[in-house]
């Protein structure tokens, strides 16, 4: 079994990955608070504390960081920039094969603001591709874009394989009908577009775990950036490279 280290192993996605992939991989974690699973307790902004957790690890799933689109500069500078450097650097020093970096749709969300809310309509043909230019809507989106670029450097310079996943909208309750995502986009969306966007970018727990599994079982990609969403009728992210390079086939979908 591959040995997988999840940073942020107590978070929403860390927890669902432990539940859905725990039989397939030997999973350990890094988390800031005491946990009910095998984990190093520590802050990813402190390199020395987290280094030992990377010994003997095959792949890292890097979920720790400030996940809020309204995060302050000070928070993303420390938690997302320094934290991601520390995770990549620790992985390099320990000879880890690959890092799956939790990125975000907020790296390009100003594209949506520019296009307007019609882009969320089910019959709208516009698609945003992962390699379109960065258009962050927030310090948070900027920090994740910078993390992707730092991953590219570690891949090119040190041979670390890096998968950047622009994860859609993963909810604790995993119920696409009960969504409320007020404030998800910065600047705020028109009220009538909030639900439409949520249904466009929904990613079910099962599809989320499957996307991560596709990365963990892949042995050819050197560096890639992928959107991760379920098979939603309102989708506007191009996930064709996730299908072709990773074999990702989402099984769930949000309602129209």
Whole-number Å distance between alpha carbons of 92 and 27 = 19
The full DSSP string for 196-209 is HHHHHHB--HHHHH
Catalytic residue, from 25, 120, 140, 227: name it. Answer: 140
State which residue, 9 or 138, has the beta carbon closest to a second copy: 138
Cα angle 36, 40, 44; round to 5 = 120
Residues 27-66, mask of contacts with a second copy (x by CB under 8 A): ----------------------------------------
Paired with 30 in beta bridges are 7, 40
Does 85 bind a second copy (CB under 8 A)? Our answer is yes
In the block, tokens 């129209």 appear at: 256
Largest pairwise CA distance in the chain: 51
> Exactly one of 6, 39, 66, 89 binds a second copy (CB under 8 A); which one?
89
Instruction: Report the 3 state secondary structure along 142-188.
Output: HHHHHHHHHHHHHHHHHCCEEEEEEECECCCCCCHHHCCCCCCCCCC
The residue range among 11-19, 63-71, 147-155, 198-206 that interacts with a second copy, by the rule CB under 8 A, is 147-155
Q: Quick one: which of 25, 54, 120, 142 contacts a second copy (CB under 8 A)?
A: 142
Residue 208 CA to residue 188 CA, distance in Å, equals: 26
Q: Nearer Cβ to a second copy, position 112 or 207?
A: 112
d(CA 51, CA 62): 14
The residue (of 133 and 173) whose beta carbon lies closer to a second copy is 133
Look up 154 and say whether it is catalytic.
no
Any contact of residue 133 with a second copy (CB under 8 A)? yes
CA 128 → CA 86, 151, 174, 226, distances in Å? 30, 21, 24, 11
Which is nearer to a second copy, 6 or 186 (by Cβ)?
A: 186
Q: How far is the CB of 137 from a second copy (least distance, A)?
A: 7
- Does residue 88 sit in helix, strand or coil? helix
Per-residue contact string for residues 176-215; x = within reach of a second copy by CB under 8 A: -----------x----------------------------
Angle between helices 83-94 and 139-158 (to 10 degrees): 20
Size of the site for a second copy (CB under 8 A): 27
Work out how close the CB of 183 gets to a second copy at its nearest, in angstroms, rounded to a whole number.
Answer: 15
User: Is 156 near a second copy (CB under 8 A)?
Assistant: yes
Residues in contact with a second copy by the rule CB under 8 A: 73, 77, 81-82, 85, 89, 110, 113, 131, 133-139, 141-142, 145-146, 149-150, 152-153, 156-157, 187
């Amino acid at each position: 079994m591959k040995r997988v280290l999840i940073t942020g192993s107590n978070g929403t996605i860390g927890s669902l990955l432990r539940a859905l992939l725990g039989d397939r991989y030997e999973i350990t974690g890094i988390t800031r608070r005491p946990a009910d699973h095998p984990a190093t307790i520590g802050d990813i902004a402190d390199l020395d504390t987290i280094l030992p957790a990377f010994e003997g690890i095959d792949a890292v799933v890097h979920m720790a960081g400030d996940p809020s689109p309204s995060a302050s500069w000070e928070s993303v500078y420390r938690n997302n920039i320094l934290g991601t450097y520390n995770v990549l650097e620790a992985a390099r020093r320990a000879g880890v094969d690959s890092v799956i970096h939790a990125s975000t749709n907020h790296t390009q969300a100003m594209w949506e603001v520019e296009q307007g809310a019609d882009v969320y309509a089910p019959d709208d043909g516009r698609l945003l591709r992962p390699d379109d230019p960065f258009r962050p809507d927030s310090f948070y989106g900027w920090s994740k874009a910078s993390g992707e670029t730092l991953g590219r450097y570690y891949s090119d310079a040190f041979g670390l394989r890096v998968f950047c996943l622009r994860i859609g909208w993963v909810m604790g309750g995993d119920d696409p009908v009960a969504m409320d995502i007020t404030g998800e986009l910065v600047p705020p969306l028109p009220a009538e577009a909030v639900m439409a966007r949520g249904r466009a970018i929904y990613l079910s727990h099962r599809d989320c775990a499957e996307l991560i599994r596709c990365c963990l079982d892949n042995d050819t990609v050197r560096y890639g950036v992928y959107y991760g969403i379920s098979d939603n009728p309102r989708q506007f992210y191009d996930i064709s490279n996730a299908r072709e390079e990773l074999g990702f086939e989402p099984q769930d979908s949000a309602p129209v």
